[in-house]
Amino acid sequence: MRTWDWSYTGHVLPDLLRGLLVTLEATALGSVLAFALGLVWALAFRAPTRWVRWPVGAVVEFVRNTPLLVQLFFLFYVLPTTGLTFSPLTTGVIGLGLHYSTYTAEVYRAGIDGVPPGQWEAATALSLPRRRTWTAVILPQAIRRVVPALGNYVIAMFKDTPMLAAITVLDMLKQAEEAGAESFRYTEPITVVGLLFVLIAYPTSLLMRALERRLGN
């Protein structure tokens, strides 16, 4: 059994940290896309016409019930055959954002449903326009309620970013894989990657719990 090689760990650490920056970038951009698209889906679910609700519902269910890895492969390998080609990182961000938007949509919908009926009635009594009702009354209350849940999905997305290595994104896992392939030593880079994930994901989860308690008071 090989012993831990600290000099080799120091040699590969800079590459792993560069991979960490890519991982964080993919998570941040994917989260922004997931939050924006999720809100669009949630509002579409409440559209007055079924010709909007049904197609949106079908798309959301299809994306939610297919594996993220399959979606990434479709975007990276199949979509270019139609003439649409993106960089690996952009493809990964689109895949993560689209996939997780189907979950954030349910979070937003729960938050909207949780707004007391009196708020809707008050907006109606004040004759507020529909857009004003949503932007000034309903959405601020709904989003405040679901911030911790959205944060939990950011953590989940962060832990799913290693899948981007399958489409050649140089994230932490891909950097570790390449380092191991060059030296035939996988223990150090893979272990460091796991530790970096824990060091970021666990404190963030504690922060989300504290935020949930604070917003719940």
In tens, the pLDDT along 29-57 reads 999 999 999 999 999 998 888 898 899 99
| Helix, strand or coil, per DSSP, at residue 83 | coil
194: domain range?
6-215
Whole-structure pTM value? 0.90
pLDDT over 90, % of the chain: 62
Residue 33 lies in a domain: yes
pLDDT (0 to 100) of residue 9: 85
Residue 166 lies in a domain: yes
Residue 92 lies in a domain: yes
Residue 1 lies in a domain: no
Residue 208 lies in a domain: yes
Q: How far apart are CA 44 and CA 46, in angstroms?
A: 5
Which CATH number is 153's domain given?
1.10.3720.10
**Nearest partner of 60 among 82, 75, 45, 80, judged by Cα:** 45
Res. 217: pLDDT tops 60: no
Number of domains in the chain: 1
pLDDT (0 to 100) of residue 133: 81
66-83 burial: b if 16+ Cβ within 10 Å, else e: eebeebbbebbeeeeeee
Residue 44 lies in a domain: yes
Checking 61-66 for CB contacts under 8 A at 24+ apart, the result is 61/102, 63/98, 63/99, 63/101, 63/102, 64/99, 64/102, 64/103
Res. 95: pLDDT tops 60: yes
User: In the predicted model, what is the mean pLDDT of the chain?
Assistant: 90
